[in-house]
Chain A
Amino acid sequence: MTDTTTPGDLLYTPSHEWLRRDGDNPDEATVGITDFAQDQLGDVVYLDLPAPGTPVAAGEVCGEIESTKTVAEFYAPVSGEVVATNGELADTPELVNESPYGEGWLIRVRITDGAGLEGMLDAAGYRAQAEAS
């Protein structure tokens, strides 16, 4: 965790995703992977993300992230439907490394079941969990 950041206004999963509820629609959220996760993965080279319209379920695999070193699965933090995928990542996957909480976001989800939110961690909880792992 040494040099990586964990913004205080996001929610986190133990599997290193973050979720931000923003914008005009309170039922929608932006999802990505944490700075710690991108740092562990190394250079991201391909992402396999769910297309808009795809249903996702909290805690289940919904995509894959390939780095030069390894491949990691990406878990949906909440249940709902994908409404947007970050198309910039097809040509510039390095955005996930350079801006994991900004331009390197992965998907936007319309939340149909907020149950998953209750199990998410705040920044302090996530840091404690990541440092212990």
Chain B
Amino acid sequence: MGESHGPGSDGGLHTLTLRDRHEVAGSRFAPFAGWEMPLRYAGTVREHEAVRERVGVFDVSHLGRVWLRGPRAASLLRSVTTFDVNTLEVGRAHYSLYCNESGGIDDDVLIYHLPGERWLIVHNAANADEDLARLQSVAGDDAAEVTGDTVMLAVQGPEAIGLLSAVLGDGLAALAPRDCVELDWAGSPVLFARTGYTGEDGGECIVEAGGAGALWDALVGGGATPVGLGARDTLRLEAALPLHGNDIDGTTHPYEAGLGFAVSLDDGAPFTGREALVEAKARARSRRLCHLMASGRGVPRAGFAVHEPGGAAVARLTSGTFSPSLRLGIGMAYLPVELASPGVTLEVDVRGRALPVEVVRRPFYRKARNT
């Protein structure tokens, strides 16, 4: 967590550097993972639609950000993460995982490879302290948290790259997905990556706190709609992106979660959880994270039981919401493999009423592609 913004007076929550700007933008705040975060501004559905149709900006400064530097950094990182970072070129970012010895997912992370043997790892806020400790246990003083004074803004939507190019510079449009670059913006260093958590095009900026307010103002002034955690959740769920703590955790392994692409075994390098993952990959799956779409009225929510029609419960939803794009309920659950096929119909128990759902392919929503 951003150490420079220590627990405030408000129940020990961390306060965002740009809190005043969020308040001016009409934010309603809610505690999340130890932070006082914008929950919504104009309304979750309107914010969601802004990202799907135009461009939205999210303050995601609650995410943990840790630098690992030096000649040992890559091999240290390889020893605690599932993806082979040695294949990650300079200027590229990749999704990866910290697994435990059982192969369970302790956190999902994004790793950025920057020039000069520098690596940035972005952690979920709820796990940031543990993740930093994990890195320090192998890297000692080589692991250093971004010394707090940065702000992380995600800019997402079909108009995001146009807006970012206008604000940060024309070169951004030439970047491929998951490329990352370091820029100077009005005297403030900015790390920009073409990444996100919404299923839309766009990018994420890590900017020094001193320049963050001006960058926020330029993005909002340029047409970006401020977006809170409410719409961040509906957007990521439509894109079928898992949320650590809900859809994946220390008891779920990457293969049953559909995250095998984040695990490299072929290089033979040892890393925490490797033995369990080798075994899990070879073993027949007993369950799989599936995507469920409602065909009736009602909102499936995390924790609700999933049944065979008229039968016993077979799973519980790990996430669920109303999809503003589809105007239907959607959710995820680990289903027994015999039920884990598109087209299978099941029911979700919505407070005693059976909501019919169908297993569908991921994602629920895919952005329209320009031809």
Contact = CB atoms under 8 A, between A and B. Distances in A.
Contact of B298 (A42, A66, A68, A97): A66
B21 interface: no
B52 interface: no
Interface residues of B, number: 15
Given A68-B234, A94-B45, A97-B43, A46 B324 contact: no
B45 A68 contact: yes
A44 B282 CA distance: 46
Interface string A68-100: 110100000000000000000000001001000
Interface string B329-366: 00000000000000000000001000000000000000
A45 interface: yes
Contacts, number: 36
A66 B299 contact: yes
Contacts of A46: 297-299, 322
A43 B298 contact: no
A45 B298 CA distance: 9
Contact of A45 (B40, B230, B322): B322
Nearest to B301: A71
B322 A66 contact: yes
Interface string A18-54: 0000000000000000000000001101101000000
Nearest to B299: A66
Interface string B30-70: 00000000001001111000000000000000000000000
Interface of A: 42-43, 45-46, 48, 64, 66, 68-69, 71, 94, 97
Report the 4 A-B pairs with minimum CB-CB distance, sorted nearest first.
A43-B45, A45-B322, A68-B44, A66-B299
14 contacts: A42-B40, A42-B230, A43-B43, A43-B45, A45-B45, A45-B299, A45-B327, A64-B351, A66-B298, A66-B299, A68-B234, A68-B299, A68-B321, A68-B324
